Amino acid sequence: MKANYHLLITILLLNTISAIGADWTEWRGPNRDGICTEKGLLQKWPDGGPRLLWVAKGLGEGHSAPAIAGTRIYTMGKKNGSVAVLALDIEKNRSIIWETPICKATYEGAFPGPRPMPTIDDDRVYALETMGTLVCVNAQSGKLIWKVHYEDDFGGVVPRWGFAESVLIDGDKVICLPGGDKGTVVALNKMTGKTIWASQFGEKASYSSMIKVSHEGVKQYIAFTSAAVVGIRAEDGKLLWRYTNPAHHESWGEVNVMVPIWSDGHVFASSGYKTGGGVAKVKQTSDGFDVEEVWFSKAMENHHGGVILLDGKLYGCSDPKYLKCIDFTTGKVLWESKEPGKCCLLYADGMLYCRDRKGPISLVKATPEGFEMRGQFEQPDRSDQPARTHPVISNGKLYLRDQSNLFCYDIKAAK
């Protein structure tokens, strides 16, 4: 009897782990590194690309990537003059289960609609709108739980192209980057929205999202602000260190988009517009922390597509449209190719999924040995907006958001 009981518990645990592994509840995945751990995916695409399973329509304007938990998809869209958080049912005709308007759509700049991907935590959805409205809603019903505003509550300044951050959940806290005089980086109680601490060091928000790390026994949040890559002590919001070289600076607006990469006490970040990127070592000193740059290069000028670290190699798109493989330790370029175009990146099962902002979706083998195309296709019914929404993979399916439409492709390999 006891053996059967333990067997049942093991099966339940394995099923739970499998379900969690298939979900995609945070920006760039569970570790915010653009890496999907699923296996058994196509290693080469047929002519015309993988099989299109379905298209969900009516999501509204926007670039918000789909967050996936269980049988539900969560995203955001501009609809009927408002910005709404949406929930779709994956199994039942991809129908909209609920949509919750959170504010009027007042952004009038380029690229209409919300940018951030919602963050899912248990039965709550956290979503940020372009002009700074951050909400927490119930994942099952869409009911609003709490709301704050970056400008009104923290003195935040809306970036030229609007806020684009996917907030970070850590324990009982929501970590966010209003970039205001009342809080550059802020920790909120995830259940109530009340401020736990506010870190004030006078830098505006960028378009990047944060990661969490532990270094020399100190838990930290790493943010890419308008002026630098910074380390913030998780306990109280104290600024620990700054790395300024990867930050883009222009009078018309700073464009720092990439999520920083952390590896063994080293941080990498990059920006486009002829800025470049580099690796710095974060060192503990007698009075705190400091950084020592290891290398900096114009070889990686990453704009909006993200960079992925695999086995000591960086893969990313450098302006204007070179997909490159670069050695993380030295900065040496191992190969480059124009073929995938200016693309957003996602990694899964040995492959890079590359989405050109104006062209095709490409499958490229992730190897430092050289560029190797494994398939390419054109998404149907392309909108007239640049495709800057990053691809998402969950449960053997590839998801591509293009404004009001969400495309789902079958990328499982045949057994």
Q: What does the pLDDT look like over 304-338, one tens digit per residue?
A: 999 999 999 999 999 999 999 999 999 999 999 99
Give me the pLDDT at residue 34, please: 98
Return the structure tokens found at 383. 């909108």
Q: What is the mean pLDDT of residues 114-129?
A: 97
Per the listing, tokens 């970040």 go with 269
Q: Are 208 and 224 in contact (CB under 8 A)?
A: yes
Give me the pLDDT at residue 11, please: 38
Give me the pLDDT at residue 173, please: 98
Its pTM surpasses 0.85 = yes
Q: What is the mean pLDDT of residues 139-167?
A: 97
Give me the pLDDT at residue 22, please: 84
Q: If pLDDT is split at 50, 70 and 90, which confidence band does 297 have? A: very high
Give me the pLDDT at residue 212, please: 98
Please report, for the chain, the start and end positions of each structural domain, with discontinuous segments joined by +: 64-114+116-205
Q: Report percent pLDDT > 90 for the chain.
A: 90
Give me the pLDDT at residue 178, please: 98
Q: If pLDDT is split at 50, 70 and 90, which confidence band does 195 have? A: very high
Helices (H) and strands (E) in the chain, counts: 2, 33
CA distance to 143, 150, 319, per residue, from 200 (Å): 32, 14, 33
Residue 15 pLDDT more than 50? no
Q: If pLDDT is split at 50, 70 and 90, which confidence band does 111 have? A: confident
Q: If pLDDT is split at 50, 70 and 90, which confidence band does 10 have? A: very low
Q: What is the mean pLDDT of the chain?
A: 94
Give me the pLDDT at residue 4, please: 47
Q: Are 269 and 260 in contact (CB under 8 A)?
A: yes
Give me the pLDDT at residue 71, please: 95
Q: How far apart are CA 205 and CA 223, in angstroms?
A: 9
Residue 128 pLDDT more than 80? yes
CATH number of this structure's domain 64-114+116-205:
2.40.128.630
Radius of gyration of the chain (CA): 21
Q: How far apart are CA 299 and CA 314, in angstroms?
A: 11
**Phi, psi values for residue 15, rounded to 5°:** -65, -40
Q: What is the mean pLDDT of residues 354-382?
A: 97
Q: Are 298 and 274 in contact (CB under 8 A)?
A: yes
Report the b/e string of 9-48 with b at 16+ CB within 10 A. Answer: eeeeeeeeeeeeebbbbbbbbeebbbbbebeebbeebeee
Give me the pLDDT at residue 150, please: 98
Give me the pLDDT at residue 377, please: 98
Range name among 101-110, 132-141, 179-188, 330-339 with the lowest pLDDT average: 101-110
Residue 384 pLDDT more than 50? yes
Residue 97 pLDDT more than 60? yes
Residue 125 pLDDT more than 70? yes
Give me the pLDDT at residue 269, please: 98
Residue 91 pLDDT more than 70? yes
Give me the pLDDT at residue 7, please: 39
Give me the pLDDT at residue 92, please: 84
Q: What is the mean pLDDT of residues 231-240?
A: 98
Q: How far apart are CA 277 and CA 302, in angstroms?
A: 8
Report the b/e string of 90-108 with b at 16+ CB within 10 A. Answer: beeebebbbbbebbebebe
Return the structure tokens found at 313. 């190699």
